[in-house]
Amino acid sequence: MNQPTRILTLALLLLQLMDSIDAKMSIISTKLDIKVGDEILLLCKAGAEGDITWQKDGEDIDDEEIVNKLDEASSKLVIKKATMQDAGRYTCHCDFDSGHKDDAQIQLFVYDGPSFGSTKTYHEFLEGTDGLVPCLVTGQPQVDVQWFKNQQEISNVGGHMRKQSDNTLRIEKVKREDAGTYVCRAQIRGRPSIFMELSVSVVVNAPPTVRLREEVKKVLAGPETNVSLLCLVDGLPQPNITWTMPVQFNPSRHHFNSDSSQLTIQSVVREDFGEYVCTATNKIAESSATIMLHVFEAPEVFVSAEQQRVLVGEAVSVSCNVTGHPHPELHWLNKQNGQTLSSTSGRVRVVDNVLMIDEVVPSDGGLYSCMAISSSGNASRDVAVYSK
Ligand SMILES: *[C@@H]1O[C@H](CO)[C@@H](O)[C@H](O)[C@H]1NC(C)=O
Ligand SMILES: *[C@@H]1O[C@H](CO)[C@@H](O)[C@H](O)[C@H]1NC(C)=O
Ligand SMILES: *[C@@H]1O[C@H](CO)[C@@H](O)[C@H](O)[C@H]1NC(C)=O
Ligand SMILES: *[C@@H]1O[C@H](CO)[C@@H](O)[C@H](O)[C@H]1NC(C)=O
């Protein structure tokens, strides 16, 4: 290569280098993902003087409200309110004064939403039924929906919950532990940073149920006897408990625990017997159970006299009565010979619980006993007959 050729080659190279520096075109945009309604602002810097034109997806843009020449080497494109149709490839083309041509390109993504419209944020379901929790999302170009509970995505495999094709969360046979806050997360497809979340509360209801530890309760009346009736209640919301009793409520003898599930009766008396009904009520339904309280009474014996002093030949008459529940059998006993006096006629007899002895003889003297016998116990009272 001779000297002049070498110089020419060098000059050409330099020119090419300068040209390529000149042609360093760029489009500057504040963002590439634009929400519908927001402003689009593109700035094209040609780097050297020339004639700048804009194209969108290969079509010329010559609307002067949109494209504006800033100076000989730059131009801007402004769209005040972006619409979905503004998405696409924008090209800034420059015919440089040097005769060279070049362009720069940028791809703009336009999206709308996502938004949840009139999605309900509170649901109540009855335990055991199927619950549907819709998430009514809108958004463009496309929205992907995920459901979360406790920061965990609800998987469509396994478990009893799944997202339907319409984005509704379906809970099969709702359980109590399904209550809580769910999050519907809507994301513009392909744009992980563009999303919205909506919290939806789920409340689970269950009708009241009542369980008793014992349906029949038996106690012996007495000042020392306290009896507790227990009603085990379940339901959601927590049911209220009320009691109906066979006797008038008496605050000095009837006590309830804090949730009224237990009724305590102090110093039980015979009159307390009967049906105690506990009723559990919540807004779903009510349910009751009945406890039968049997109150037994220990027998007691009353005699009209504990000592009888009579002269031989006179008559003796002692009446006896017994109380208790069940009502006791009454027997008169001659304690000298241990015999029960059952005759209703004769000289020594028992008539209507009255012991009668006609024309007393000396051997009639001694101890007699009026006895009360029942399943609640026995009692007796002695009567001493003295004859002379
Ligand atoms: C019955 O209840 C009263 C009051 O709470 C108590 O003082 C008493 O000791 C109780 N009696 C029995 C036998 O538990
Ligand atoms: C339960 O009791 C509370 C307090 O007395 C009352 O405010 C509520 O309305 C009751 N609920 C039902 C279902 O009866
Ligand atoms: C039974 O006992 C009560 C109490 O002591 C008495 O008032 C009543 O008269 C007695 N009745 C008979 C039949 O003895
Ligand atoms: C009560 O008396 C009956 C009959 O005499 C007797 O069989 C029973 O064992 C007695 N019961 C008690 C608790 O003393």
Q: Tell me the mean pLDDT in the region 25-40.
A: 94
Task: Give the pLDDT band (50/70/90) at residue 387.
Answer: confident
Q: Tell me the mean pLDDT in the region 3-17.
A: 50
116-205 belongs to CATH 3.40.640.10: no
Task: Give the pLDDT band (50/70/90) at residue 11.
Answer: very low
Q: Which ligand is nearest to the CA of 381?
A: 3
| Atom 8 of ligand 2, nearest CA residue | 240
pLDDT value at residue 7: 52
pLDDT value at residue 192: 95
Against a cut of 0.85, is the pTM above it?
no
Nearest partner of 196 among 104, 280, 115, 94, judged by Cα = 115
3-112 belongs to CATH 2.60.40.10: yes
In CATH terms, the fold of domain 304-387 is Immunoglobulin-like (2.60.40)
Q: Tell me the mean pLDDT in the region 134-144.
A: 96
| Alpha-carbon distance values, 321 to 270, 303, 327, 332, 376 (Å) | 18, 6, 11, 11, 16
- Pocket around ligand 1: residues whose beta carbon is below 6 Å from it? 224, 226, 266
The predicted-structure confidence for 283-325, as pLDDT tens digits, reads as follows 999 999 999 999 999 999 999 999 999 999 999 999 999 999 9
Task: Give the pLDDT band (50/70/90) at residue 211.
Answer: very high
Length of the chain, in residues:
388
* Structure tokens, 299: 């027998």
Q: How far away, in angstroms, is 374 Cα from ligand 4 center?
A: 8
pLDDT value at residue 185: 97
CATH placement of domain 213-297: 2.60.40.10
Q: Which ligand is nearest to the CA of 223?
A: 1
Task: Give yes or no on whether 3-112 and 116-205 have one common fold.
Answer: yes
Cβ of 282 less than 6 Å from ligand 2: yes
Counting beta carbons within 10 angstroms of the beta carbon of residue 256, is it exposed (0 to 12), middle (13 to 18) or buried (19 or more)? Answer: middle
Ligand 2 atom closest to the CA of 240, numbered from 1: 1
- Domain range list for the chain: 3-112, 116-205, 213-297, 304-387
The predicted-structure confidence for 66-113, as pLDDT tens digits, reads as follows 998 999 999 999 999 999 999 999 999 999 999 999 999 999 999 998
